Amino acid sequence: MSAVIECINISKQYKGGCQALDNVSLNCQSGRIVGLLGPNGSGKTTLIKILEKLLVPTGGTFAIAGQTDPVEIKKIVSYLPDCNFLGDTLTVKDALDYFQTFFEDFDRPRAEEMMEKLGITGTQYLKTMSKGTKDKLQLVLVMSRRAKLYLLDEPIGGVDPATRDFILHTIVANTDEDSSVLISTHLISDVEPILDEAVFINNGRIVLKSTVDAIREEHGKSVNDYFREVFKCY
């Protein structure tokens, strides 16, 4: 096992004053699925965007599988943004071509096999798809890369429970001993069974890092219920 994410004292101060991240240090070993759990506005997306080299931190350093160069990092990190990133005028085949052109590690047969299971055909236009189908397609594309690190920003937000199961199943099935997954979400009860570790983030700081079973053992409740207790708003 080796470290996939090594991040030391990362801070991010947005122009205009918001301190989105405050001295975040995080280590993640290969073969792990880590949940980045926090309330809205806690810094989850900012951290993911920094790890994907889309944002520049105002302080701190990090390496992904030992790499610090942005181009090298993008080669080994597969990123699922929390929005639609594919144009509506594309067909499924266009989207596949697009990924194949961009990423050397894209495993096209694997993507096609998963799409077949989902009943998604190559000639379909993205604009004719429902939100849930589009989400599934995007996840299939992202998980079909043979990456070192998968950064998944809210992969199960706004989809029905059966689709959630498909997405979680796909994440587990496609992660091997050499890769890691960082999932940000606030739908904790759905993801907690597949997590190795839960990282609680609040106001830009990591407030807890523990395994799911350790939290359950120690507090006698699910990570979801413990989260509600820690981040109680009233």
User: Among residues 131 and 228, whose Cβ is nearest to other proteins?
Assistant: 228
From the CB of 167, what's the least distance to other proteins, in Å?
Answer: 12
User: Among residues 17 and 220, whose Cβ is nearest to other proteins?
Assistant: 220
From the CB of 135, what's the least distance to other proteins, in Å?
Answer: 19
User: Among residues 35 and 57, whose Cβ is nearest to other proteins?
Assistant: 35
From the CB of 166, what's the least distance to other proteins, in Å?
Answer: 11
Q: Token digits for 123?
A: 């000639």
From the CB of 175, what's the least distance to other proteins, in Å?
Answer: 8
From the CB of 220, what's the least distance to other proteins, in Å?
Answer: 6
Which residue in 169, 195, 204, 205 sits closest to 224, CA to CA?
195
> Where along the sequence are the contacts to other proteins (CB under 8 A)?
31-33, 165, 168-169, 172-173, 189, 192-196, 212-213, 216-217, 220-222, 224-225
Q: Is the dihedral of CA 206, 210, 215, 216 positive or negative?
A: positive
Q: How many C-beta neighbours within 10 Å does residue 154 have?
A: 19
- Spatial distance between the Cα atoms of 85 and 157, rounded to a whole number of angstroms: 15
From the CB of 150, what's the least distance to other proteins, in Å?
Answer: 14
Question: What DSSP assignment string belongs to the chain?
Answer: --EEEEEEEEEEE-TTS-EEEEEEEEEEETT-EEEEE--TTSSHHHHHHHHTTSS--SEEEEEETTB--HHHHHHHEEEE-SS--S-TT-BHHHHHHHHHHH-TTB-HHHHHHHHHHHT--TT-BGGGS-HHHHHHHHHHHHHTB--SEEEEESTTTT--HHHHHHHHHHHHHH--TT-EEEEEES-HHHHGGG-SEEEEEETTEEEEEEEHHHHHHHHSS-HHHHHHHHT---
User: Among residues 70 and 193, whose Cβ is nearest to other proteins?
Assistant: 193
User: Among residues 24 and 195, whose Cβ is nearest to other proteins?
Assistant: 195
From the CB of 155, what's the least distance to other proteins, in Å?
Answer: 15
User: Among residues 88 and 213, whose Cβ is nearest to other proteins?
Assistant: 213
User: Among residues 134 and 164, whose Cβ is nearest to other proteins?
Assistant: 164
